[in-house]
Amino acid sequence: MQNFLKKPHPFIFNTYSVAIPGMASFLIILLLAPLDFKEIELTERIVYALCIASFVSIIIFLTVKLLQKLFPSFTQEDTWTIGREILLFLIVILLIILGIFLSIFTLYGANQSAWQVFAKTTFISLSISFFPIIVLVLFEQYRQQKIQFAYAQQLTQSLKAENKKLQTATQKTSPSNPVFQLKEENGKVALLLHASEIVCLQSDGNYVEVFYEEHQIITKKLIRNRLKNLEEQLPKTIFFRCHNRFVVNGNYILHIEGNARNLELSLRGLAIKIPVSRSKAKQISAFIQAL
């Protein structure tokens, strides 16, 4: 369960995030008239539905904006998880329940205990909010999936058909393909490679796993050093820090895939797919165009 809650999830907040729950709440109260709403006359029910729908939308908007302002690190897109998404929904629902409870108790609760009004308000609010939440989650996932897929397709089309850096062995001495000394923390040279031979670098704590091409075969070597230290040696025109744990050679990118959560890179000769941090998704387009 803990691993499930820690899974990455897209942080989506836009007009739809506010409008869809409000609209869904309005239609549920007006058309389905759950619980005590069946006993209310249509005209009065429309007023109730509008008030509740507006209140729901306002609460969602204010809650997210306040969280972004007061706890910016909590709402960072790169660190957003399923657990945080669920927590956000719970906070919003709790605030909606409290707001509706205070309104009802102030206007009509003179002959009822606060606990009775709160329990009834909670039950009704949870019953009504279940469907708008499901509708919102499904819609946002579907829309995000389409956006990411289209973006991935666009990026893939932008990739160069041929890797000019890796065409022939004679290019290895060209100024655009220099030799790099990848060193250990103690300064000892661990690898001596041309830029065109380095496929990607993967961080593993205090070590970096270097994937490189040797005689058309992908080989890897573990070097004791920080990814940041090795990244600083490599030209940013060819290499891109796509993730906290990965630096890739842009000339090895074959295609890009996208889903509702993130983008992934497929590199030539490499079986694993390289994730792209959500904060880097926009930067990778400019990087590919500049290759």
Distance, in Å, from the CA atom of 239 to the CA atom of 201, rounded to the nearest integer, reads 10
Q: Are residues 145 and 6 in the same domain?
A: yes
Q: What is the largest CA-CA distance in the chain?
A: 91
235 and 154 share one domain: no
Last residue within a domain, chosen from 158, 179, 195: 158
Torsion from C-alpha of 257, 259, 261, 262, nearest 10 degrees:
10
Q: Supply the pLDDT for residue 35.
A: 62
The model's pTM is 0.63
Tell which of 125, 158, 191 closes a domain: 158
Check pLDDT > 70 for residue 167.
Answer: no
Residue where a domain terminates, one of 139, 158, 177: 158
Count of the separate structural domains present in the chain: 2
> d(Cα 18, Cα 223) in Å, to the nearest integer?
49
Same domain? For 124 and 193 the reply is no
For residue 170, give the CATH number of its domain.
2.40.50.1020
Do 148 and 223 reside in the same domain of the chain?
no
Q: What is the mean pLDDT of residues 150-169?
A: 61
123: confidence class by pLDDT, cuts 50, 70, 90 = confident
- Looking at residue 153, what is its pLDDT? 80
Q: What residue has token string 């249509």? A: 42
* Whether residue 152 sits in one domain with residue 112: yes
Same domain? 27 vs 97: yes
Tell me the pLDDT tens digit for each residue of 38-60.
788 888 889 988 998 999 999 99
Q: Do 10 and 146 sit in the same domain of this protein? A: yes
Backbone angles phi, psi at 142, to 5 degrees: -65, -45
Same domain for 147 and 201?
no
Examine the pLDDT at 163 and tell me if it is beyond 90: no
Question: Got the DSSP string for 182-245?
Answer: EE-TTS-EEEEEEGGGEEEEEEETTEEEEEEEETTEEEEEEEES-HHHHHTTS-TTTEEEEETT
- Give the domain range for residue 262: 164-290
Same domain, residue pair 149 and 171: no
